[in-house]
Amino acid sequence: MLTRNLFGVPYTGWQNPLAELNHMVRRMDQLTNAFFGRDVRRLAMPKVFPALNITEDEDKYYIRAELPGVKPDDLKLEVTGKSLSIAGERKIQPESDNARYHRREREAGKFSRAVVLPGDVDADNLDAKLVNGILTITIAKSTATQPKQITIK
């Protein structure tokens, strides 16, 4: 059974109400790519920040960040209260002037990443190592937040 929707077009079943809007967004992307020769949305979003994992044990937090191609001299770490910030710059050797890209996924530039750790830390007891593109930061938990074993008498 066919019914008519709000605009008088035959309605055969449920349709995504935003499908036409999604189609318009795709068409606008194609138009800007054709006009500017590149993906404009890619230019607006920074992509040079490191992916990271945060784990913990009884005494320490461990932060591991992927930073391939970044040298230790190009990094800056700061710890304030529960917050850790990693800032730096990824440098990539430029291609020749005649090079034509078929795919460009590696980004260069400055980055900054701040995370809030689950508890207070001892900023004086921090160790950082960069090995094979993986930055490993070990931060001791604050003694005030570590659990204390209580002996029952």
In the predicted model, is pLDDT for residue 124 greater than 80? yes
Hey, which residues does 4 pair with through a beta bridge? 10
Domains of the chain (ranges, CATH numbers) = 3-43 (no CATH), 46-93+107-141 (2.60.40.790)
Task: Mark residue 11 as left, alpha or beta (left: phi above 0; alpha: psi -120 to 50; beta: remaining).
Answer: beta
**pLDDT at residue 21, rounded to an integer:** 80
Give 45's pLDDT tier (boundaries 50, 70, 90): very low
**pLDDT at residue 130, rounded to an integer:** 95
Which amino acid, 59? D
Give 38's pLDDT tier (boundaries 50, 70, 90): low
Give 1's pLDDT tier (boundaries 50, 70, 90): very low
Q: How far is CA 86 from the centre of its chain?
A: 12
Q: How far apart are the C-alpha atoms of 69 and 48, rounded to whole Å?
A: 12
In the predicted model, is pLDDT for residue 64 greater than 60? yes
pTM of the model: 0.61
- Mean pLDDT over 85-111 rounds to 84
**Can you tell me whether residue 17 is helix, strand or coil?**
coil
**pLDDT at residue 146, rounded to an integer:** 59
